[in-house]
Amino acid sequence: MPDTAEHRADMYRVALERRKAGKPSWEHKINLRDVFHRDDLTFEQKRDAIVRRIRATTWFKQYDEFDDLPAFVEELAGTEDNAEFNAVWSEIYDVADADRVWIETR
């Protein structure tokens, strides 16, 4: 699910349809704000806290272990630096977007 204009337009349409049906734009929300911007945590501590929180969500638990989201989260758990983390995070964020899961980081 690349971050393209078409993808963003598709996600906008999904959100619009949900609102028209009387539903909120986002099905679930995950607050990671307190972890993402903690300068007192090492990269590994932040990464591990983020992975734990995602794995604890009902969103994550609805997936089969062989689906994309669990594979991406497993890959995220093994990242060794910010560049690797950001590449995998982008994939997780796209899945969240399609599933209407708001991941709050700011």
CA distance linking residue 71 with residue 81, whole number of Å = 18
Average pLDDT score over the chain: 92
Q: What is the pLDDT of residue 40?
A: 96
Q: What is the pLDDT of residue 2?
A: 61
The pLDDT tens digits for 8-32 are 888 888 878 888 898 878 889 999 9
Indicate the residue type of 39: D
Q: Structural domain boundaries of the chain?
A: 47-106
Q: What is the pLDDT of residue 13?
A: 86
Instruction: Indicate whether 3 pLDDT > 90.
Output: no
CA distance linking residue 104 with residue 33, whole number of Å = 6
Q: How many Cα atoms occupy the beta-carbon half-sphere of 93 within 13 Å?
A: 14
Structure tokens belonging to residue 31: 């607050």
**Contact predicate 70/64, CB 8 Å:** yes
Instruction: Indicate whether 56 pLDDT > 90.
Output: yes
Q: What is the pLDDT of residue 101?
A: 96
